Amino acid sequence: MNSENIHHRTRKTTLYRLHIKNSDEFVAENIFHQSKLEDYALTVIDTRVCEFPAIVVYGIFSQEGGEIPDWRTDAELLSGLKIPSLKQIKSGFSVALAIGEEFYAFGYGDPGNRLIREEIKDTSFGLKFAVRAADANTVQQVARKSIDLRGRQDLTFAAGGLQIDAYGIRKYGEVVRRLGASAANINLTFTKNRGQPVRIECGDGIRLPLGVAGSDLVHDIQEVARIAQSDPDPSLAFIEEFQNVKNPETIELLDLYLEEELAKEGDRKILFSPPFNKWESYSSASKVSFSSGRNRSPQYINPEVEDALAHFGLIKDVLKDSLRAGHVLLHPEDGGEPTRHPNVLRWLEVSILVGSSHFVLSENQWFEIGAEYVRTLKNELSRIIRDAPSIILPAWPENLREEDYVSEIVALNPDFIPLDQVFIKTDRHTKGRGNGFEICDALGPKNELIHIKRGTKSNDLSHLFAQGNVSVESLRYDKRASERFKEKVLEIDPSRDIPDGFIPEKVIYAFQPKRYPGKGPLEVENLTLFTQTSLNQAAKILESQQIKVEAVGIPRTP
């Protein structure tokens, strides 16, 4: 290989910008995991790359035999150091660079990337670059997360690339966490003499081919920094616009509200939701636990918010601060040592209402759900919540059980069939009371599935909406469920016409939310933002199957 080819070598890696204020903070202990530096006796060298201060870290993470890592030649070219053979399976190389007033880091090999502390990364850097460098017409990958306390995360690929609008991103309700696309107008070592665009993947950092030789590397990082300061592509600007709250006073106020929400008993607007970049690790873990110092919680297969709060609530400190200082532990299948992930608040989503403004804490960042999102959601719900409901239900006395309330509905209107506590058992549904499940609480005059709940808590209502989807899915795909449902209905009312393979034309949710005044039509404003979003999502799933959806309020007794 001639010297010219060596000089212009590139290697794909992920570049991070660091939260470092000045050169005094540019030390290995701030940038890399101190425990790993010590536990693996890694080599740490202060050096320079093209006269810019640099810190190089490398070493062995496993004693199992293997081949020489493919990055060793590039690491030597970049650093000017002689790197040992490192004939082990797990070895890594990391570099931190101070270029002007900005600080960066990247690694070769998976262990090299993992050396960089999560807390030191500027998580806005990758997408800041993406909305300025990416070609909006060749987007190949979009990862997004709903900011609505449902924890939904989607990752969509299109190998040939699509225009950004084709991904159907809700611009006022979803945060883009990663974007992959081609970038043509960027002057990198990789693009010289190639005449082709470079592929970039941007999230917390930027994955792209960087020059290996010192001069090429510095040039590429400076080019990335230049583009990150330019104007965004108008087609992609919305990604950056719907970003986290940055005003320090607002954040301080929201943190106070957060402490109140954490301290509540009962109806907390909190959800356990792994960060996007930890989802793969979370999915492969067999169990999850929480730690504070040397104290560990029990291990959970499917952890809930209450599990985390139960552990950290035992600490005599502000719960919010305890969560931020705590760790999530992901336990592997083989029973080995768990991986530790700092800041439990990054794993929670919290919804806060301050006056008329809605805020959501997601991945330890506050987002304001803007007026446009709320307005759009209200317009969409107008198809479900109507001024003139199709059914009128009697008032529900405070001391009356749900089963008795359904009986009262039937007594006033014999066209309704009571199905509360009528359980259907199939091979797919063997759990629950009566060894089965309820298709619905009542069958309406036109064979509508009616789901009923007093439902003052958002989580209860979310569960109610999910039941509607489960029931329809069971009737559609479980022949035994459909047959048993027909049998149960005809046992109660032999005259009711229930066709074989029955699928309802309509699902009605009847409930009594806390904000509902207890009389008159239900209104969107009677529902919390969380409930509005849950209802809208459940309705869209049913409507995609050509099933109509309606939500009605249950009157209260005077």
pLDDT for 78 equals 87
How far apart CA 181 and CA 133 sit, in angstroms, is 9
How far apart CA 324 and CA 363 sit, in angstroms, is 11
What is the DSSP secondary structure assignment for residue 382, as one 8-state letter?
A: T
pLDDT for 148 equals 61
Read off the tokens for 519.
């009389």
pLDDT for 488 equals 93
Higher pLDDT, 18 or 246: 18
Rg (CA), the chain: 28
pLDDT for 1 equals 45
Is pTM beyond 0.85 here?
Answer: no
Please indicate, yes or no, whether residues 282 and 324 belong to a single structural domain of this protein: yes
Please indicate, yes or no, whether residues 385 and 525 belong to a single structural domain of this protein: yes
Query: Would you place residue 104 in the very low, low, confident or very high pLDDT band (cuts 50, 70, 90)?
Result: very high
What mean pLDDT do residues 340-361 have? 85
pLDDT for 150 equals 61
Per cent of the chain over pLDDT 90 is 44
Cβ atoms of 141 and 155 closer than 8 Å: yes
Please indicate, yes or no, whether residues 97 and 136 belong to a single structural domain of this protein: no
pLDDT for 427 equals 66
Q: Is the pLDDT of residue 149 over 70?
A: no
152-156, 226-230, 372-376, 489-493: which range is least confident on average?
372-376
pLDDT for 434 equals 44
In a domain, 13, yes or no: no
Residue 65: is it exposed, middle or buried by C-beta count within 10 angstroms (0-12/13-18/19+)?
A: exposed
How far apart CA 300 and CA 290 sit, in angstroms, is 9
Cβ atoms of 7 and 211 closer than 8 Å: no
Please indicate, yes or no, whether residues 317 and 408 belong to a single structural domain of this protein: no
Which residue is listed with tokens 């803007």? 370
3-7, 312-316, 400-404: which range is least confident on average?
3-7
What residue numbers bound the domain in which 361 lies?
A: 248-367
Which of 201, 218, 243 marks a domain boundary?
A: 243
How far apart CA 252 and CA 80 sit, in angstroms, is 46
What mean pLDDT do residues 481-508 have? 93
Query: Would you place residue 50 in the very low, low, confident or very high pLDDT band (cuts 50, 70, 90)?
Result: very high
Bridge partners (DSSP) listed for residue 11: 210
In a domain, 178, yes or no: yes
Please indicate, yes or no, whether residues 509 and 400 belong to a single structural domain of this protein: yes
pLDDT for 145 equals 82
Query: Would you place residue 152 in the very low, low, confident or very high pLDDT band (cuts 50, 70, 90)?
Result: confident
User: Between the CA of residue 488 and those of 416, 453, 468, 485, what are the distances in Å?
Assistant: 14, 22, 18, 5
In a domain, 558, yes or no: no
What mean pLDDT do residues 377-404 have? 90
pLDDT for 368 equals 78
Which of 193, 208, 243 marks a domain boundary?
A: 243
> How many domains does the chain divide into?
4
Query: 394 by DSSP, 3-state: which?
Result: coil
Query: Would you place residue 431 in the very low, low, confident or very high pLDDT band (cuts 50, 70, 90)?
Result: very low
Which of 120, 138, 166 marks a domain boundary?
A: 120
Please indicate, yes or no, whether residues 408 and 279 belong to a single structural domain of this protein: no
Highest mean pLDDT among 204-218, 308-322, 445-459: 204-218
User: Between the CA of residue 544 and those of 173, 444, 450, 519, 541, what are the distances in Å?
Assistant: 20, 22, 19, 31, 5
Q: Residue 51 — left, alpha, or beta (φ > 0 → left; ψ -120 to 50 → alpha)?
A: left
Please indicate, yes or no, whether residues 332 and 210 belong to a single structural domain of this protein: no
Please indicate, yes or no, whether residues 362 and 409 belong to a single structural domain of this protein: no
What mean pLDDT do residues 498-514 have? 92
10-14, 65-69, 91-95, 224-228: which range is least confident on average?
65-69
Please indicate, yes or no, whether residues 384 and 531 belong to a single structural domain of this protein: yes
In a domain, 212, yes or no: yes
Please indicate, yes or no, whether residues 274 and 415 belong to a single structural domain of this protein: no
pLDDT for 162 equals 93
- Closest alpha carbon to 192 in 215, 225, 161: 215
Query: Would you place residue 146 in the very low, low, confident or very high pLDDT band (cuts 50, 70, 90)?
Result: confident
Query: 40 by DSSP, 3-state: which?
Result: coil
| pLDDT tens-place string over residues 231-285 | 999 999 888 776 678 778 888 889 888 888 888 776 677 888 888 888 888 888 9
